[in-house]
Every structure is written in C-alpha cells, then in structure tokens.
C-alpha cells in the first residue's frame, strides 16, 4: 500500500523514489497519521483515538525509548476523553522524535 510505485509516474518518479511532499509519494507514517489520527482528533472520536494511539505505540522504532510510553499516555488520555491530553501526547512525540524520524527513517514501512 505504501510501497514505491512500480513504474515511473507522469512526474518522472521511479521505483525507490523518496517520499515526502508532492510530487513524491506520502511517507508511510505521515500517510497513516493523516488517514487515521487526524480525522479522529477533528471528530473528537476518543474511542478511535485510543485504538490509534495503541497502534502508534506498536510502530516504535528501536532506540526511540519514549515513543511507546508517549503513545500509551495518548491512549490513556483518549480513554479519559481529554482532548488536551491527546494533543499533549501528539506534541510531546512530535517535539521529541519528528525531526529525527524524518532524518533517519521517514521511508520506513509500517
């Protein structure tokens, strides 16, 4: 689903092209977040957010020690129906890992 295109596209991207901003394909984690967590936050769908945060915890790369615990805190906040807590978990993870993740493994399959 998130793999590189098998044929060059109209924009000239070939198999193995990096992901990122258009015209590149979406990066796997970013695409998953946009498809799952973003709509749930906008809808205040705390049940879905709890499930999504548990899934995000399972995406934790090695040597990203706090990733899983931050995601589990987000799941707990969602179960408590705390939008502020959910957003705090998002901010905390992004502040700690977003730049590093993008630099080291943005193309990593989920």
Domain spans of the chain, in order of start: 28-105
Question: What integer is the mean pLDDT of 37-63?
Answer: 97
97 three-class SS: helix
What is the model's pTM?
0.81
| pLDDT one-digit tens code per residue, 55-97 | 999 999 999 999 999 999 999 999 999 999 999 999 999 999 9
pLDDT band at residue 49 under the 50/70/90 scheme: very high
Residue 80 has which token pair? 């408590």
Give the three-class secondary structure for 106. coil
Residue 5 and residue 16: Cα distance in Å, rounded? 8
Does residue 32 register a pLDDT over 80? yes
- When the pLDDT of each residue in the chain is averaged and rounded to a whole number, the result is 87
């Amino acid at each position: 689903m998130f793999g590189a295109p098998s044929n060059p596209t109209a924009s000239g991207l070939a198999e193995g092209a990096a992901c990122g901003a258009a015209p590149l394909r979406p990066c796997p984690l970013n695409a998953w977040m946009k498809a799952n967590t973003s709509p749930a936050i906008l809808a205040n769908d705390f049940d879905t957010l709890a499930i999504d945060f548990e899934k995000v915890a399972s995406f934790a790369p090695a040597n990203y020690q706090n990733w899983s615990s931050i995601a589990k805190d987000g799941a707990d906040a969602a179960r408590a129906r705390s939008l502020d807590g959910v957003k705090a978990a998002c901010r905390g993870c992004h502040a700690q890992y977003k730049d590093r993740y993008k630099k080291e493994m943005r193309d990593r399959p989920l």
